[in-house]
Structure 1
Amino acid sequence: MKSLFKVAAAAVLLTVAAAPALAADAKPHRVAIQVDQNDPVVMNLALNNAANIIDYYKAKNEDVQVEVVTFGPGLHMLRTDSSPVKDRIKQISDAAFPSSIKFAACDNTKNGMEKHEGHAVSLIPQASEVPSGAVRLIELQGEGWAYLRP
Protein backbone atom coordinates (compact mmCIF):
# COMPACT_ATOMS: atom_id res chain seq x y z
CA MET A 1 0.00 0.00 0.00
CA LYS A 2 2.85 2.39 0.85
CA SER A 3 4.43 1.53 -2.49
CA LEU A 4 1.21 2.44 -4.34
CA PHE A 5 1.06 5.73 -2.44
CA LYS A 6 4.67 6.55 -3.42
CA VAL A 7 3.94 5.82 -7.08
CA ALA A 8 0.83 8.02 -7.01
CA ALA A 9 2.70 10.83 -5.22
CA ALA A 10 5.55 10.62 -7.74
CA ALA A 11 3.06 10.81 -10.62
CA VAL A 12 1.47 13.93 -9.13
CA LEU A 13 4.86 15.55 -8.65
CA LEU A 14 5.88 14.69 -12.19
CA THR A 15 2.63 16.12 -13.56
CA VAL A 16 2.99 19.34 -11.54
CA ALA A 17 6.65 19.68 -12.53
CA ALA A 18 5.80 19.19 -16.21
CA ALA A 19 2.93 21.70 -16.20
CA PRO A 20 5.09 24.83 -16.70
CA ALA A 21 6.96 23.11 -19.52
CA LEU A 22 3.67 22.28 -21.25
CA ALA A 23 2.44 25.86 -20.83
CA ALA A 24 5.72 27.21 -22.17
CA ASP A 25 5.38 24.98 -25.25
CA ALA A 26 1.85 26.26 -25.98
CA LYS A 27 1.69 28.07 -29.31
CA PRO A 28 0.41 31.65 -28.99
CA HIS A 29 -2.87 32.44 -30.73
CA ARG A 30 -2.37 35.38 -33.10
CA VAL A 31 -4.35 36.38 -36.16
CA ALA A 32 -4.07 39.26 -38.62
CA ILE A 33 -7.28 40.26 -40.37
CA GLN A 34 -7.11 42.26 -43.61
CA VAL A 35 -9.67 44.92 -44.55
CA ASP A 36 -9.08 46.60 -47.91
CA GLN A 37 -12.63 47.47 -48.97
CA ASN A 38 -14.87 50.42 -48.11
CA ASP A 39 -17.79 48.08 -47.59
CA PRO A 40 -19.71 47.96 -44.30
CA VAL A 41 -20.53 44.27 -44.93
CA VAL A 42 -16.83 43.38 -45.17
CA MET A 43 -15.99 45.56 -42.16
CA ASN A 44 -18.70 43.95 -40.05
CA LEU A 45 -17.64 40.49 -41.18
CA ALA A 46 -14.06 41.27 -40.09
CA LEU A 47 -15.35 42.48 -36.71
CA ASN A 48 -17.59 39.42 -36.37
CA ASN A 49 -14.57 37.19 -37.08
CA ALA A 50 -12.47 39.08 -34.53
CA ALA A 51 -15.16 38.94 -31.83
CA ASN A 52 -15.84 35.24 -32.46
CA ILE A 53 -12.13 34.41 -32.28
CA ILE A 54 -11.73 36.35 -29.02
CA ASP A 55 -14.84 34.71 -27.53
CA TYR A 56 -13.69 31.23 -28.57
CA TYR A 57 -10.35 31.53 -26.81
CA LYS A 58 -11.87 33.35 -23.83
CA ALA A 59 -14.19 30.32 -23.31
CA LYS A 60 -11.07 28.12 -23.26
CA ASN A 61 -9.36 30.47 -20.75
CA GLU A 62 -6.73 31.28 -23.39
CA ASP A 63 -5.57 34.60 -24.75
CA VAL A 64 -5.47 35.60 -28.39
CA GLN A 65 -3.99 38.59 -30.16
CA VAL A 66 -5.96 40.00 -33.07
CA GLU A 67 -4.77 42.76 -35.38
CA VAL A 68 -7.07 44.22 -38.00
CA VAL A 69 -4.93 45.78 -40.74
CA THR A 70 -6.61 48.32 -43.01
CA PHE A 71 -5.34 49.83 -46.24
CA GLY A 72 -6.68 51.18 -49.51
CA PRO A 73 -10.43 51.85 -49.36
CA GLY A 74 -10.56 49.75 -46.17
CA LEU A 75 -9.00 52.67 -44.27
CA HIS A 76 -12.51 54.17 -44.07
CA MET A 77 -13.13 51.57 -41.35
CA LEU A 78 -10.84 53.58 -39.05
CA ARG A 79 -11.66 57.15 -40.12
CA THR A 80 -13.59 59.31 -37.66
CA ASP A 81 -15.60 60.93 -40.46
CA SER A 82 -16.56 57.89 -42.51
CA SER A 83 -16.38 54.72 -40.41
CA PRO A 84 -19.70 52.88 -40.34
CA VAL A 85 -18.37 50.60 -37.59
CA LYS A 86 -16.57 52.88 -35.13
CA ASP A 87 -19.04 52.14 -32.31
CA ARG A 88 -18.58 48.37 -32.78
CA ILE A 89 -14.80 48.81 -32.79
CA LYS A 90 -15.00 50.56 -29.41
CA GLN A 91 -17.27 47.83 -27.99
CA ILE A 92 -15.04 45.00 -29.19
CA SER A 93 -11.90 46.77 -27.97
CA ASP A 94 -13.41 47.33 -24.53
CA ALA A 95 -14.60 43.70 -24.23
CA ALA A 96 -11.45 41.96 -25.54
CA PHE A 97 -9.48 41.76 -22.26
CA PRO A 98 -7.57 39.59 -21.34
CA SER A 99 -7.00 39.08 -25.07
CA SER A 100 -6.04 42.04 -27.22
CA ILE A 101 -7.23 43.58 -30.45
CA LYS A 102 -5.40 46.26 -32.42
CA PHE A 103 -6.42 48.24 -35.47
CA ALA A 104 -3.65 49.24 -37.86
CA ALA A 105 -4.13 52.06 -40.38
CA CYS A 106 -1.90 52.25 -43.46
CA ASP A 107 -0.04 55.56 -43.47
CA ASN A 108 0.56 55.33 -47.24
CA THR A 109 -3.20 55.20 -47.78
CA LYS A 110 -3.87 57.95 -45.23
CA ASN A 111 -1.35 60.27 -46.92
CA GLY A 112 -2.86 59.54 -50.33
CA MET A 113 -6.37 60.27 -49.06
CA GLU A 114 -5.21 63.53 -47.46
CA LYS A 115 -3.55 64.64 -50.71
CA HIS A 116 -6.61 63.68 -52.78
CA GLU A 117 -9.15 65.24 -50.38
CA GLY A 118 -7.09 68.33 -49.53
CA HIS A 119 -7.43 68.02 -45.74
CA ALA A 120 -6.14 65.97 -42.81
CA VAL A 121 -7.73 62.58 -42.22
CA SER A 122 -8.54 61.84 -38.59
CA LEU A 123 -8.48 58.29 -37.22
CA ILE A 124 -10.52 56.78 -34.38
CA PRO A 125 -8.72 56.47 -31.01
CA GLN A 126 -8.35 52.67 -31.32
CA ALA A 127 -6.32 52.99 -34.53
CA SER A 128 -2.56 53.16 -34.74
CA GLU A 129 -0.69 54.08 -37.89
CA VAL A 130 1.73 51.72 -39.61
CA PRO A 131 3.93 52.82 -42.53
CA SER A 132 2.32 50.30 -44.91
CA GLY A 133 -0.66 48.02 -44.35
CA ALA A 134 0.60 45.47 -46.85
CA VAL A 135 4.05 45.40 -45.25
CA ARG A 136 2.45 45.07 -41.80
CA LEU A 137 0.64 41.92 -42.96
CA ILE A 138 3.87 40.53 -44.37
CA GLU A 139 5.66 41.21 -41.07
CA LEU A 140 2.93 39.61 -38.96
CA GLN A 141 2.83 36.51 -41.16
CA GLY A 142 6.64 36.33 -40.97
CA GLU A 143 6.29 36.27 -37.17
CA GLY A 144 3.94 33.29 -37.38
CA TRP A 145 0.59 35.07 -37.24
CA ALA A 146 -2.37 33.42 -38.95
CA TYR A 147 -3.92 35.44 -41.79
CA LEU A 148 -7.62 35.96 -42.44
CA ARG A 149 -9.31 37.93 -45.18
CA PRO A 150 -13.07 38.10 -44.78
Structure 2
Amino acid sequence: MNDPKLAVAVISGLAMLLLVEPGAQAQQDNQLIPQSSTTSQASHPKHSVRQKQVSKPGQTHTSKQITATRAALAQVAKPHQLILQVNSNDPAMMNLTLNNATNVAQYYRDLGEPVSIEIVTFGPGLHMLRDDTSPVKPRIEALAMSNPEISFKACGNTQENMRKAENKDISLIPQATVVKSGVVRVMELQEQGWSYVKP
Protein backbone atom coordinates (compact mmCIF):
# COMPACT_ATOMS: atom_id res chain seq x y z
CA MET A 1 0.00 0.00 0.00
CA ASN A 2 1.97 3.01 -1.30
CA ASP A 3 -0.57 5.77 -0.60
CA PRO A 4 -0.07 7.17 2.96
CA LYS A 5 -3.63 8.58 3.07
CA LEU A 6 -5.02 5.19 2.08
CA ALA A 7 -2.95 3.46 4.75
CA VAL A 8 -4.16 5.89 7.44
CA ALA A 9 -7.78 5.42 6.35
CA VAL A 10 -7.51 1.62 6.49
CA ILE A 11 -5.78 1.64 9.89
CA SER A 12 -8.34 4.08 11.33
CA GLY A 13 -11.20 1.97 10.02
CA LEU A 14 -9.74 -1.23 11.45
CA ALA A 15 -9.15 0.42 14.82
CA MET A 16 -12.75 1.63 14.93
CA LEU A 17 -14.01 -1.82 14.01
CA LEU A 18 -11.91 -3.45 16.73
CA LEU A 19 -13.10 -0.97 19.34
CA VAL A 20 -16.76 -1.22 18.41
CA GLU A 21 -17.01 -4.94 17.66
CA PRO A 22 -16.26 -6.30 21.19
CA GLY A 23 -19.00 -4.11 22.69
CA ALA A 24 -21.51 -5.40 20.18
CA GLN A 25 -20.45 -8.97 20.82
CA ALA A 26 -20.79 -8.51 24.57
CA GLN A 27 -24.30 -7.16 24.13
CA GLN A 28 -25.19 -10.11 21.94
CA ASP A 29 -23.78 -12.47 24.60
CA ASN A 30 -25.87 -10.75 27.27
CA GLN A 31 -29.00 -11.53 25.30
CA LEU A 32 -28.19 -15.22 25.50
CA ILE A 33 -27.96 -15.11 29.32
CA PRO A 34 -31.38 -15.73 30.90
CA GLN A 35 -32.72 -12.73 32.78
CA SER A 36 -34.26 -14.94 35.44
CA SER A 37 -34.25 -18.57 36.49
CA THR A 38 -35.99 -21.28 34.46
CA THR A 39 -38.58 -21.69 37.16
CA SER A 40 -39.34 -17.98 37.13
CA GLN A 41 -39.63 -17.96 33.34
CA ALA A 42 -41.95 -20.93 33.39
CA SER A 43 -44.21 -19.26 35.93
CA HIS A 44 -44.21 -15.95 34.05
CA PRO A 45 -44.12 -16.84 30.32
CA LYS A 46 -45.49 -13.46 29.18
CA HIS A 47 -42.88 -11.59 31.19
CA SER A 48 -40.15 -13.81 29.74
CA VAL A 49 -41.26 -13.22 26.15
CA ARG A 50 -41.42 -9.49 26.77
CA GLN A 51 -37.84 -9.53 28.05
CA LYS A 52 -36.60 -11.26 24.92
CA GLN A 53 -38.37 -8.82 22.64
CA VAL A 54 -36.99 -5.70 24.32
CA SER A 55 -34.03 -4.47 22.34
CA LYS A 56 -31.26 -2.41 23.80
CA PRO A 57 -31.02 1.07 22.25
CA GLY A 58 -27.22 1.00 22.20
CA GLN A 59 -27.13 -2.26 20.30
CA THR A 60 -28.86 -0.92 17.20
CA HIS A 61 -26.57 2.08 17.09
CA THR A 62 -23.50 -0.12 17.54
CA SER A 63 -24.60 -2.45 14.73
CA LYS A 64 -25.05 0.55 12.44
CA GLN A 65 -21.57 1.76 13.33
CA ILE A 66 -20.09 -1.64 12.50
CA THR A 67 -21.96 -1.80 9.19
CA ALA A 68 -20.87 1.72 8.24
CA THR A 69 -17.26 1.00 9.21
CA ARG A 70 -17.17 -2.21 7.21
CA ALA A 71 -18.68 -0.46 4.19
CA ALA A 72 -16.09 2.32 4.50
CA LEU A 73 -13.26 -0.21 4.73
CA ALA A 74 -14.53 -2.09 1.69
CA GLN A 75 -14.69 1.19 -0.23
CA VAL A 76 -11.17 2.17 0.83
CA ALA A 77 -9.68 -1.24 0.15
CA LYS A 78 -10.85 -1.49 -3.47
CA PRO A 79 -10.16 1.49 -5.75
CA HIS A 80 -12.46 2.54 -8.55
CA GLN A 81 -11.00 1.31 -11.85
CA LEU A 82 -11.65 2.80 -15.28
CA ILE A 83 -10.43 1.96 -18.80
CA LEU A 84 -10.59 4.63 -21.49
CA GLN A 85 -9.89 3.52 -25.07
CA VAL A 86 -8.43 5.57 -27.92
CA ASN A 87 -8.32 3.89 -31.35
CA SER A 88 -8.63 6.93 -33.62
CA ASN A 89 -6.08 9.51 -34.75
CA ASP A 90 -8.51 12.27 -33.89
CA PRO A 91 -7.23 15.11 -31.67
CA ALA A 92 -10.80 15.89 -30.54
CA MET A 93 -11.26 12.31 -29.30
CA MET A 94 -7.87 12.38 -27.58
CA ASN A 95 -8.72 15.61 -25.77
CA LEU A 96 -12.15 14.30 -24.82
CA THR A 97 -10.49 11.20 -23.33
CA LEU A 98 -8.06 13.34 -21.34
CA ASN A 99 -10.97 15.51 -20.15
CA ASN A 100 -12.87 12.43 -18.97
CA ALA A 101 -9.82 11.01 -17.20
CA THR A 102 -9.14 14.33 -15.45
CA ASN A 103 -12.77 14.74 -14.37
CA VAL A 104 -13.01 11.20 -12.95
CA ALA A 105 -9.69 11.55 -11.11
CA GLN A 106 -10.78 14.88 -9.60
CA TYR A 107 -14.21 13.52 -8.62
CA TYR A 108 -12.78 10.69 -6.55
CA ARG A 109 -9.95 12.83 -5.19
CA ASP A 110 -12.60 15.20 -3.79
CA LEU A 111 -14.36 12.22 -2.16
CA GLY A 112 -11.08 10.93 -0.75
CA GLU A 113 -11.53 7.62 -2.60
CA PRO A 114 -8.81 5.87 -4.63
CA VAL A 115 -9.15 5.49 -8.38
CA SER A 116 -7.02 3.98 -11.15
CA ILE A 117 -7.50 5.08 -14.75
CA GLU A 118 -5.84 3.49 -17.79
CA ILE A 119 -5.93 5.12 -21.20
CA VAL A 120 -5.30 2.31 -23.69
CA THR A 121 -4.32 3.22 -27.26
CA PHE A 122 -4.17 0.98 -30.32
CA GLY A 123 -4.55 1.24 -34.09
CA PRO A 124 -4.48 4.85 -35.30
CA GLY A 125 -5.02 5.89 -31.68
CA LEU A 126 -1.35 5.12 -30.99
CA HIS A 127 -0.54 8.56 -32.46
CA MET A 128 -1.75 9.93 -29.13
CA LEU A 129 1.37 8.45 -27.49
CA ARG A 130 3.85 8.78 -30.36
CA ASP A 131 6.66 11.17 -29.59
CA ASP A 132 6.75 12.52 -33.15
CA THR A 133 3.03 12.83 -33.96
CA SER A 134 1.08 13.25 -30.72
CA PRO A 135 -1.16 16.33 -30.87
CA VAL A 136 -1.64 16.18 -27.08
CA LYS A 137 1.93 15.50 -25.92
CA PRO A 138 2.30 18.69 -23.80
CA ARG A 139 -1.05 18.08 -22.17
CA ILE A 140 -0.16 14.49 -21.27
CA GLU A 141 3.15 15.64 -19.76
CA ALA A 142 1.33 18.11 -17.49
CA LEU A 143 -1.47 15.67 -16.69
CA ALA A 144 0.89 12.86 -15.70
CA MET A 145 2.65 15.10 -13.17
CA SER A 146 -0.56 16.14 -11.39
CA ASN A 147 -2.55 12.91 -11.77
CA PRO A 148 -0.46 9.82 -10.94
CA GLU A 149 -3.65 7.72 -10.92
CA ILE A 150 -3.84 8.08 -14.72
CA SER A 151 -1.61 5.80 -16.81
CA PHE A 152 -1.10 5.44 -20.56
CA LYS A 153 -0.78 2.13 -22.41
CA ALA A 154 0.45 1.75 -26.01
CA CYS A 155 -0.29 -1.30 -28.15
CA GLY A 156 2.95 -3.10 -29.04
CA ASN A 157 1.38 -4.76 -32.08
CA THR A 158 0.38 -1.38 -33.49
CA GLN A 159 3.83 0.06 -32.77
CA GLU A 160 5.46 -2.83 -34.65
CA ASN A 161 3.07 -2.49 -37.62
CA MET A 162 3.79 1.25 -37.83
CA ARG A 163 7.52 0.55 -37.68
CA LYS A 164 7.24 -1.80 -40.66
CA ALA A 165 4.97 0.54 -42.62
CA GLU A 166 7.13 3.63 -42.04
CA ASN A 167 10.47 1.77 -42.04
CA LYS A 168 11.65 3.52 -38.88
CA ASP A 169 11.57 3.10 -35.11
CA ILE A 170 8.42 4.46 -33.51
CA SER A 171 9.35 6.35 -30.36
CA LEU A 172 6.75 6.89 -27.66
CA ILE A 173 6.42 9.66 -25.10
CA PRO A 174 7.99 8.87 -21.69
CA GLN A 175 4.59 8.56 -20.01
CA ALA A 176 3.59 5.60 -22.22
CA THR A 177 4.01 1.95 -21.27
CA VAL A 178 3.94 -0.68 -24.02
CA VAL A 179 1.59 -3.67 -23.70
CA LYS A 180 1.63 -6.58 -26.15
CA SER A 181 -1.89 -5.90 -27.42
CA GLY A 182 -4.11 -2.93 -26.64
CA VAL A 183 -7.30 -4.88 -27.33
CA VAL A 184 -6.18 -7.76 -25.10
CA ARG A 185 -5.29 -5.25 -22.38
CA VAL A 186 -8.81 -3.80 -22.47
CA MET A 187 -10.34 -7.28 -22.41
CA GLU A 188 -8.22 -8.51 -19.50
CA LEU A 189 -8.90 -5.42 -17.40
CA GLN A 190 -12.63 -5.88 -17.98
CA GLU A 191 -12.29 -9.51 -16.86
CA GLN A 192 -10.74 -8.16 -13.63
CA GLY A 193 -13.77 -5.96 -13.03
CA TRP A 194 -12.60 -2.65 -14.48
CA SER A 195 -15.26 -0.34 -15.94
CA TYR A 196 -14.88 0.36 -19.66
CA VAL A 197 -15.73 3.58 -21.46
CA LYS A 198 -15.21 4.29 -25.16
CA PRO A 199 -15.47 8.00 -26.05
Fold match, TM over 0.5? yes
What TM-score do the two structures reach when normalised by structure 2? 0.66
The aligned counterpart of 2:194 is 145
Structure 2 residue 90 is the aligned partner of structure 1 residue 90: no
What TM-score do the two structures reach when normalised by structure 1? 0.86
Task: Please tell me whether Structure 1 or Structure 2 has the larger radius of gyration of its CA atoms.
Answer: 2
Query: Structure 2 CA distance, aligned partners of 1:43 and 1:18?
Result: 42
The aligned counterpart of 2:6 is none
Q: Equivalent residues in 2 for 1:43-82 (5 A)?
A: 43-82=94-133
- Matched residue SS, 1:119: coil
Q: Equivalent residues in 2 for 1:1-150 (5 A)?
A: 11=61, 15=65, 20-26=69-75, 27-97=78-148, 100-150=149-199
- Report the structure, 1 or 2, having the larger helix content: 2
Query: Structure 1 CA distance, aligned partners of 2:198 and 2:59?
Result: 50
Could you tell me which runs of 5 or more consecutive residues in structure 2 were left unpaired when the two chains were aligned. Answer: 1-56
- Matched residue SS, 2:196: strand
The percentage of aligned residue pairs carrying the same residue is: 48
Asked whether the equivalents of residues 79 and 113 of structure 2 are also in contact (C-alpha less than 8 Å), the reply is: no
- Matched residue SS, 1:141: helix
Moved over 4 A (4+): 7-14, 17-20
> Which structure carries more relative contact order (alpha carbon 8 Å, separation 6+)?
1
Aligned residues between the structures? 142
Question: What's the Cα RMSD here?
Answer: 2.0
Query: Structure 2 CA distance, aligned partners of 1:13 and 1:77?
Result: 51
Could you give the per-residue CA deviations for residues 94-117 of structure 1, whole angstroms, max 9, x where no partner exists?
Answer: 1114xx111000000000000000
Could you tell me which runs of 5 or more consecutive residues in structure 1 were left unpaired when the two chains were aligned. Answer: 1-6
